[in-house]
């Protein structure tokens, strides 16, 4: 397979995954901002939404205030934001179009159709219900793209490269969401019985669609260390770092088997995966959740570089 084709597939699915993540972040921020008694935290929610989607810097350059309207517009539609949902879908489609032949008709139609439908959403409708409709639609797009790929693509290198994009992006996103909110997970700053914490925790879980999963796994009320456990170490949780790395190692191994050659990316993925499997929540909290997440993000970046060097250029 052409290196460029692999690169396009990798980024196509990565951008779709990013679009969904931004949508979830928006959704969680909007819920938090609408919670009564959260008045002074109102602006903060939108700032953390910017941080969680790595858009703080780009937003500051616009010189606008981080109000609900401005942040929603920026994260959803802005041309100036390279990670806005609109741009993500545009880039996904540009990548898909360049490798049209490597996609199944269903997958292409899911992406192309999303790009066409996107024009139905008015950029000036920034009401909460407008946001909800839009977010639901983006999630649906992501499901359609993912589902069509899952159901129709041959299980060969084209599929594996597209999966690598998904899991690398998802791992980054989960780690970033956790890092933006890590302070509310720290036991020593926990205000006793604070209702706000409850909402903060549920917002974190909601932004990675893990609210129900939490109850199934732990059958317990929200405990910050359990939330961290779920999103970092639990392999059965599809957005956890461990699950992402189980998939990354797996698909990289498939590639290595097919091509008959191992490389840096296989070694890097296996190393990080092993660390996640051997880690315990207590240790992570003891040595610092923030430090752990920062280091993870660096490792994740390193894997991205290794994949690029080994296959995509």
Partner 1 sequence: MGTEFFDEMRSSIEGCREPYRGLAEWLEGIPDDLIEQRRSEAELLFRRIGITFAVYGEARSEERIIPFDVVPRIITGTEWGRMAEGLEQRVKAINAFLADIYSNQEILKAGILPAELIFANPAFRPEMMGRKIRGDVYVPIAGIDIVRVDADTFYVLEDNARTPSGVSYMLEDREVMMLLFPELFSRYNVRPVENYPEELLATLQSIAPENAPREPTIALLTPGPFNSAFYEHSFLADKVGIELVEGHDLVVRDNFVYMRTTQGLQQVDVIYRRVDDDFIDPLTFRPDSALGVAGLMSVYEAGNVSLANAVGTGIADDKAIYSYMPEILKFYLGEEPILKNVPTHRCREPEALSYVLDNLAELVVKEVHGSGGYGMLVGPTADRKTREEFAAKLKEEPENYIAQPTLALSTCPTWVESGLAPRHVDLRPFVLTGTDKVRIVPGGLTRVALREGSLVVNSSQGGGTKDTWVING
> For binding to partner 1 (CB under 8 A), which residues are involved?
1-6, 94, 97-101, 105, 108-109, 112-113, 116, 157, 161, 255, 259, 261, 311-313
- Cβ proximity to partner 1, 97 vs 271, nearer residue: 97
The CB-of-154 to partner 1 minimum distance in angstroms stands at 13
Where residue 220 falls (left for φ over 0; alpha for ψ -120 to 50; beta otherwise) is beta
The CB-of-119 to partner 1 minimum distance in angstroms stands at 12
The CB-of-258 to partner 1 minimum distance in angstroms stands at 9
Asked whether the beta carbons of 104 and 153 are under 8 A apart, the reply is yes
Give 85's contacts (C-beta < 8 A, 6+ positions apart): 19, 22, 23, 75, 76, 77, 138
Burial of 189 (C-beta count, 10 Å sphere; 0-12/13-18/19+): exposed
Give 185's contacts (C-beta < 8 A, 6+ positions apart): 178, 201, 204, 224, 225, 227, 228, 289
The CB-of-162 to partner 1 minimum distance in angstroms stands at 13
The CB-of-262 to partner 1 minimum distance in angstroms stands at 13
- Cβ proximity to partner 1, 98 vs 217, nearer residue: 98
Asked whether the beta carbons of 241 and 276 are under 8 A apart, the reply is yes
Cα(67)–Cα(11) distance, integer angstroms: 31
- Cβ proximity to partner 1, 3 vs 34, nearer residue: 3
- Cβ proximity to partner 1, 273 vs 311, nearer residue: 311
- Cβ proximity to partner 1, 164 vs 178, nearer residue: 164
């Amino acid at each position: 397979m052409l290196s460029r084709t692999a690169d396009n597939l990798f980024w196509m699915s990565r951008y779709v995954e990013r679009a969904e993540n931004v949508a979830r972040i928006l959704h969680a921020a909007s819920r938090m901002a609408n919670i009564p008694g959260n008045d002074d935290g109102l602006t903060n929610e939108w700032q953390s939404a910017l941080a969680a989607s790595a858009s703080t810097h780009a937003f500051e350059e616009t010189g606008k205030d981080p109000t609900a309207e401005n942040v929603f517009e920026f994260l959803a539609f802005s041309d100036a934001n390279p990670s806005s949902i609109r741009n993500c879908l545009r880039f996904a489609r540009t990548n898909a179009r360049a490798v049209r032949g490597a996609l199944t008709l269903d997958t292409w139609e899911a992406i192309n159709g999303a790009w066409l439908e996107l024009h139905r959403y008015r950029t000036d409708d920034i009401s909460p219900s407008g946001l909800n409709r839009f977010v639901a639609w983006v999630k649906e797009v992501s499901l359609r793209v993912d589902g069509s790929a899952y159901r129709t693509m041959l299980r060969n290198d084209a599929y594996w490269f597209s999966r690598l994009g998904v899991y690398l992006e998802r791992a980054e996103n989960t780690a970033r969401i956790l890092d933006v909110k890590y302070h509310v997970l720290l036991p020593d700053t926990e205000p006793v019985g604070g209702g706000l914490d409850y909402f903060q925790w549920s917002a974190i879980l909601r932004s990675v669609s893990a609210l129900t999963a939490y109850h199934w796994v732990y059958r317990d009320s929200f405990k910050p260390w359990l939330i961290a456990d779920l999103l970092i170490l639990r392999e059965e949780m599809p957005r956890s770092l461990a699950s992402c790395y189980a998939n990354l190692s797996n698909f990289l191994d498939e590639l290595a088997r097919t091509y008959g050659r191992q490389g840096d990316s296989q070694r890097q993925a296996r190393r990080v995966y092993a660390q996640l499997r051997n880690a315990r929540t207590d240790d992570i909290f003891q040595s610092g959740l923030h430090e752990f997440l920062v280091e993870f993000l660096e490792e994740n970046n390193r894997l991205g570089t290794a994949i690029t060097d080994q296959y995509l250029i």
